[in-house]
Copies of this chain bind each other. A is one copy, B any other.
Amino acid sequence: MKKTLFVLLLSLLVVTAYVHAENGYDLWLRYKKIEDPTYLNLYRKSIAGIHINAISPTLLVAKKELEMGLSGLLGAPIKEVGAQTDNALIAGTPSSSPVIKSFLEKEKIKTGQEGFAIYSQTINNKKLILIAAETDLGVLYGVFHFLKLLQSHQSIQSLSTISIPKIQRRILNHWDNLNRSVERGYAGISIWNWHTLPDYIDKRYIDYARANASIGINGTVLTNVNASSLVLTDPYLEKVKALADVFRPYGIRVYLTAKFSAPVEIGRLKTADPLNPEVIEWWKHLCDKIYKMIPDFGGFLIKANSEGQPGPQGYGRTHADGANMFADILAPHGGIVMWRAFVYDARVQRRGEHFEEGKKDVAGESIASADRFKQAYLEFKPLDGKFKENVLIQVKNGPIDFQPREPFSPLFGAMPNTQLMAEFQITQEYLGQATHLVYQAPLYKECLDADTYAYGRGSTVAKITDGSLKKHKISAIAGVANIGNDINWTGHLFGQANWYAFGRLAWDHTLSSETIAEEWIRQTFGNNPKVLQPIQQIMMASREAAVNYMTPLGLHHIMGTGHHYGPAPWVENAGRADWNPVYYHKADKKGLGFDRTATGSDALSQYAPEVRKQWENMKTCNIEYILWFHHVPWNYTLSTGRSLWDELCFRYYSGADTVKWMQDIWTTVKAYIDEERYNHVRQLLNIQHKEAKWWRNACLLYFQTFSELPIPSHYEAPDKTLEYYKSLRFPHAPGINGNL
């Protein structure tokens, strides 16, 4: 009888797995039972039970997470045990646990505001695992780290880990509108259901907080940088407060975007001039109200005088005037200002405002007519040292706009007396959106590891961002989220890896892309080497493949107008010169690429001499950036030994071929993962391959009209004409103007 029941139970497990295919909702926090019996037994033996004195909301969620995680991973409800139990797992702070207190004192371990220590210890002859931190939040981070060890089949025998984040504020930027559309969102609509807030707390809000806390993200800007002032009105602040209340135990602060013209739009003032006392008083009153509701409110992110957004220049003031007004108001509350450096064309910036045209910058050059590459620098460099100490200037990784590959922005290193924070894009606006598998850690790393030489060799973007080079008070980093209400959060399952990678690098920018990929795969797909290795190979190849089939050799911004879906290098009639692909690639009979040396726009002069020197010479310029900085003749021989045209063909073809290879590799994991996720990725790789070929064919046929050279005959010839590719229209491509 027992045996029958046993068999039935066993079969039930199979059935449960069958019915509940994995839809990706659980992200990397799946907590499935450890498959490998060796690890399972080892872990079970090493963890007899948990001991957490949950004296705060954060310790309570840490305890719940540990219970849920261990119960799932070990396949049995985890017990609570006393602190004197052999093989107890004890998590806490000096305030919550005497054991932790004496451990930290004895070992002289400092974990700071957010760090944690995980140690194996023998105390009074009891083997213990300690998750120790000076703060509750550190404990929570330690708990997630510990669960990751188990999910990843790591040893927990002789633990002695101390982990402290290198950057203080690790923030997601949601470009989410109040109508729930998401600018550059490709995963459904906003997870913020403003209509049902504050009364309805979607379970998703909690799972969002868990996911972020698990990778160390501690801030979220809820609203689009192209802002609506409505979010600053009372009914919406109630909704924001509800979210802040949910996120607080997880250590996540809420930030908002502030529309510069809010005092006029919702405050009934006649001006938004940042030096006007009424305006200052209006913002002060608003902030007092916000902090009464949300005591740990993080501050404001502001996009001003860019792409039609209002700003201080509309009143004859500078970015510093604008930022500092907010800074003074937020400082007493502990809030910060993140002021975006992504600005271009003062004329456009002032659209709709009462300001005279044609401002000249200090050097007498009209910023508006400069190479767009240069404009942020031209606007901000003169303001170095003029920002208050709770202001950060938020700089996109590259000088243009989240291209598949960009050189680092010359602003990094150009403002020694200003706190700069890097902004990365997790959502794949220019990287195949949600149908292409593109693992972005290599992109983030490329920027973070780039040496600006600004303060001598080793002045990397990472060290500028983390504040270590100039000993700045506040450090921060931002990632534009790829999160939507799709069941799997990110549209493409592998989009989760980019969210994960951003969080991990924000915590520790020295981690390698490979390591992060491995962590993510182990938690997401399990620890079978037949899954881990192929998927890691796919991920590591994916970004270079995308660069190759979209914008090899330093091409940039040749995507479809507006929606940025697909190739459109031929477009030359967009509203502004620098909205046109032809502005960026400058193809002609002679060659291809944007001359940004002294003979051209001289954008290279914005870099430190060491960088400029390397890149201004076509011979020494990295081949990956060559068309960013040079107009290269079609027959010029590159470092690969191939001519520009042949190299262009080679890269476009090899990019598309790599996707084919990714498809083939993916088939090898079929037997080892669930059918639902396998098919999801399989179908998307089909789309990616189709679109990679579309990119390749369209771009080569177009550039061929200038080079007048043949596509080498050993390549499969394009199967459509250039006219066909030019004729394609996508009026409902997602992520823009009400398309979802």
Contacts and interface: CB of A to CB of B under 8 A. Distances in A.
A194 B730 CA distance: 11
Contacts of A196: 435, 687
Given A485-B486, A732-B179, A9 B19 contact: no
Interface of A: 2-3, 5-6, 8-16, 18-21, 23, 25, 31, 33, 68, 71-72, 75-77, 178-181, 188-190, 194-196, 199-201, 203, 230, 435, 485-487, 676, 679-680, 683-684, 686-687, 690, 730-734, 738-740
Contacts of A6: 2, 5-6, 9
B733 A195 contact: yes
A739 B188 contact: no
A719 to B, nearest CB: 17
A72 B12 CA distance: 8
A181 B738 contact: yes
A19 B68 contact: yes
A738 B228 CA distance: 15
Contacts of A77: 11, 14-15
Nearest first, the 8 A-B pairs at minimum CB distance are A180-B740, A11-B76, A9-B9, A179-B739, A12-B75, A199-B687, A15-B71, A200-B683
Given A8-B75, A731-B230, A683 B199 contact: yes
Contacts of A20: 20
A33 B12 contact: yes
Nearest to A433: B195
Given A8-B75, A195-B732, A487-B487, A23 B203 contact: yes
Nearest to A740: B180
A10 B9 contact: yes
A72 B740 CA distance: 36
A194 B731 CA distance: 11
Nearest to A676: B203
Contacts of A690: 199
Nearest to A188: B485
A23 B206 CA distance: 14
Contacts of A739: 179-180
Nearest to A44: B8
Given A10-B9, A189-B188, A740-B181, A72 B15 contact: yes
A174 to B, nearest CB: 15
Residue in A20, A200, A686 whose Cβ sees the most chain B Cβ within 10 Å = A200
Contacts of A3: 2
A203 B682 CA distance: 13
A3 B14 CA distance: 20
Contacts of A684: 200
Nearest to A11: B76
Given A188-B485, A739-B180, A9 B15 contact: no
Contacts of A188: 188-189, 485
A269 to B, nearest CB: 20
Contacts of A732: 178-180, 194-195, 230
Contacts of A189: 188-189, 485, 740
23 contacts: A5-B6, A11-B77, A12-B75, A13-B13, A14-B77, A15-B33, A15-B72, A16-B16, A19-B31, A19-B68, A19-B72, A23-B203, A179-B740, A188-B189, A190-B740, A195-B733, A196-B687, A199-B683, A200-B683, A201-B683, A203-B676, A203-B679, A487-B487
B200 A687 contact: yes
Given A20-B20, A23-B203, 17 more contacts: A5-B6, A8-B75, A8-B76, A11-B77, A12-B13, A15-B33, A15-B77, A25-B487, A178-B732, A179-B740, A189-B189, A190-B740, A195-B730, A195-B732, A196-B435, A199-B686, A485-B485
Contacts of A12: 13, 33, 75-76
B485 A75 contact: no
A489 to B, nearest CB: 11
B733 A68 contact: no
Nearest to A76: B11
A375 to B, nearest CB: 32
Nearest to A684: B200
Contacts of A68: 18-19
Contacts of A11: 75-77
A9 B75 CA distance: 8
Contacts of A435: 196, 200
A304 B267 CA distance: 44
A23 B207 CA distance: 13
A35 to B, nearest CB: 13
A662 to B, nearest CB: 16
A189 B185 CA distance: 13
A195 B187 CA distance: 12
A682 to B, nearest CB: 10
B75 A15 contact: yes
A514 to B, nearest CB: 29
A230 B739 CA distance: 14
A740 B185 CA distance: 14
Nearest to A77: B11
Nearest to A181: B740
Contacts of A5: 6
Contacts of A13: 9, 12-13, 16
Contacts of A486: 485
A694 to B, nearest CB: 12
A485 B23 CA distance: 14
A16 B9 CA distance: 13
A597 to B, nearest CB: 40
A359 to B, nearest CB: 34
Nearest to A20: B20
A641 to B, nearest CB: 38
A734 B734 CA distance: 19
A431 to B, nearest CB: 16
A189 B16 CA distance: 30
A462 B13 CA distance: 46
A178 B181 CA distance: 14
B76 A15 contact: yes
A627 to B, nearest CB: 30
Nearest to A230: B731
A38 to B, nearest CB: 16
B734 A195 contact: yes
Contacts of A740: 179-181, 189-190, 740
A200 B687 CA distance: 8
A724 to B, nearest CB: 13
A6 B10 CA distance: 9
Nearest to A68: B19
A16 B71 CA distance: 9
Contacts of A19: 31, 68, 71-72
Contacts of A15: 33, 71-72, 75-77
A20 B33 CA distance: 13
Contacts of A676: 203
